[in-house]
A and B are shown apart, each in its own frame.
Chain A
């Protein structure tokens, strides 16, 4: 019987793996020329993976100072930055609206609003409850400002690309690859082998020293506050940092999910063992 059960589970597993590999096949592709995707080891991968908070915090700085000139984050509110599992979470401020860092970040943005007294359109500084504002008033304006290209919203960009974090990271690094002769570029297009077809409307966004990193205080895995020295703002460093930030933005509950997952799997495993013995006990005298 145990053998049959093993067969059943194995067959089930094989079926699922076959289904997934079929999908992976469908989702693959991308990349032209000789560019070789660099597969980075991300801190948030694996069963117990968490976001590297220092990297994600620096990533927010890169987003704010570089990406945000064209790309919006429309599904995010400022308060999300201070949620549990988020880059700027601080347990002294369980309500992220009170988190002084989050307040400062929000205040750094200008929000369009309506004056309740006069009904006039006014501009005010942001508060944690506000959503990240749109960068352009509408799609036409966005295209007009970018040579016809539409800068995608970045809220779920890591989930929306087959290659995930590696895709985004490599996209920012692949600009200096030599262009093959069969890719023809019209004005306003750049060569990037990570893009499908090799053409992209975005010019290389990063260059060494583009932002100035400052040292920061971050809680390490053991829960102690430690100072993280400011790394050099190389293209690789900034690309990795902003990818870490955007990976969080795509999947902000990853840490909660993985820890709940561990407890759930453990519970189910114990329950399975108990039920197995119950089954053996109930069927003790029955040959089948």
Chain B
């Protein structure tokens, strides 16, 4: 599976026998000794954190599925039953709900990390694209799962999102009905959403396997983006990065536990404690926080279809990013101009999230006086423009005109300067 020469030697007759037939122990051993750049910082621990998130969501999810009832008349009640009567249900149900938020938080850090250090550039294009696919399936899973508790936001969120499909020219209406299994979000919808919500995490798990495979084939990127050249530039994954990842995971779990035990509802919406009612539209329909930036992009234009195309485009553009960024220099550390644009990009992503949570006609505080000034529609238009401009204008042009800073020859030299003979590289 990995691209480095195997150092595993089976010691016993049984392991030798197995190694000839299925080198599974070898695979594990190679995984643990995988040479990783020695300069990986804490931003590189989120891959491990995300794996933990996926495992946690699958385990809690399977147990919840044993008690949850996917029926419009019973779903809301069954969630209450889980929280009140099922042993440890009071822990598992919020762990799954808060876990979804933590999962998205981690994936956003992981993606921005990739953007900053140029982890999508050759030879990691396929690795990046698989990552984008994982993110896409995660979004679908998150959306489907949010429907299941059958609260007001579940129902109306599902109604709004599936309504987009109705905007597709010609086939829109029949496509929407096919997806819903009827004319509106109802029992058939809830049933298929539950089935798919159970299926997709395993698709994610499979994609994660391919993601890690690709990672081990091309090797990890690193904060300076210089490919490791000698053995000195790398460290064995275990124990160096297992211990570093473990520390980061526990810090992450502390944040997770804080929300889980002390603020379990802070990341959700109060309206989802009201049972779904098809006859009563909530005053503000908002998606979960992790979809807010895309929701803002969707609402930035008055035309429904154009909005959907923009929203899909916002994700699609990530897939072609490796070919949009023309710079050969991976890490933003050596691209002072691009780095500035990156931070502005991050800023506008937060602005988009803010816009997504607000009523579009409301005026923006600090940027308006009375009804004069900027409203949220216009703010989201500005932010949407920058979002796309960053990918299709700034990065392509900047790669051609920007003069990057001098880069060190190797990772080891970057750390130790030119007098690299003092480097104590431990035996692996």
Interface residues of chain A, those whose CB is within 8 Å of chain B, are 1, 4-5, 8-9, 11-13, 15-16, 18-20, 22-23, 25-27, 29, 47, 74-76, 80, 152-153, 155-156, 159-162, 164, 196, 250, 252-253, 256-258, 260-262, 264-265, 268-269, 271-272, 275-276, 278-279, 282-283, 285-288
Contact = CB atoms under 8 A, between A and B. Distances in A.
Contacts of B267: 19-20, 23
Interface of B: 38-39, 41-43, 77, 80-81, 83-84, 90-91, 94, 101, 105, 108-109, 235, 239-240, 243-244, 246-247, 250-251, 253-255, 257-262, 264-267, 269-271, 273-275, 283-284, 286, 289-290, 292, 350, 353-354, 356-358, 415-416, 423-426
A75 B43 CA distance: 44
Contact of A265 (B94, B108, B258, B290): B258
Contacts of B350: 18
Contact of A286 (B38, B81, B109): B38
Contact of A279 (B247, B261, B274, B424): B247
B105 A268 contact: no
Contact of B83 (A26, A253, A260): A253
A13 B357 contact: no
Given A5-B42, A160-B274, A282-B240, A272 B254 contact: yes
A253 B83 CA distance: 8
Contact of A19 (B109, B275, B353): B353
Nearest to B101: A19
Contacts of B356: 22
A285 B423 CA distance: 9
Main secondary structure of the interface of A (DSSP, over half): helix
A19 B270 CA distance: 15
Given A19-B101, A283-B244, A286-B38, 8 more contacts: A18-B353, A19-B105, A20-B267, A257-B261, A275-B250, A279-B247, A287-B423, A288-B415
A125 B243 CA distance: 61
B287 to A, nearest CB: 10
B250 A268 contact: yes
Contacts of A75: 77, 80-81, 84
Nearest to B286: A26
A23 B90 contact: no
B139 to A, nearest CB: 16
Contacts of A272: 247, 250-251, 254
Q: Ordered nearest first, which 6 A-B pairs have the shortest CB separation?
A: A261-B261, A160-B273, A253-B90, A26-B357, A275-B247, A22-B357
Contacts of A276: 247
Contacts of A8: 41-43
B415 to A, nearest CB: 5
A279 B353 contact: no
A4 B84 contact: no
A42 B90 CA distance: 22
Contact of B261 (A20, A27, A260, A271): A260
Contacts of A262: 261
B255 A16 contact: yes
B112 to A, nearest CB: 9
Contact of B105 (A12, A23, A156): A12
A12 to B, nearest CB: 7
A23 B253 contact: no
Contacts of B266: 20, 23
A268 B353 contact: no
A152 B270 CA distance: 15
Contacts of B358: 25-26
A79 to B, nearest CB: 10
B270 A12 contact: no
Contacts of B269: 23, 26-27
B257 A278 contact: no
Contacts of A25: 354, 357-358
B354 A159 contact: no
A51 B271 CA distance: 24
A23 B289 contact: yes
Contacts of B94: 257
A75 B75 CA distance: 12
Contacts of B251: 5, 9, 272
B38 A12 contact: no
B261 A282 contact: no
B424 A286 contact: yes
Contact of A257 (B264, B416, B424, B426): B264
A265 B357 contact: no
A16 B350 CA distance: 11
Max chain A Cβ within 10 angstroms of own Cβ: one of B41, B250, B416: B250
Contacts of A162: 270
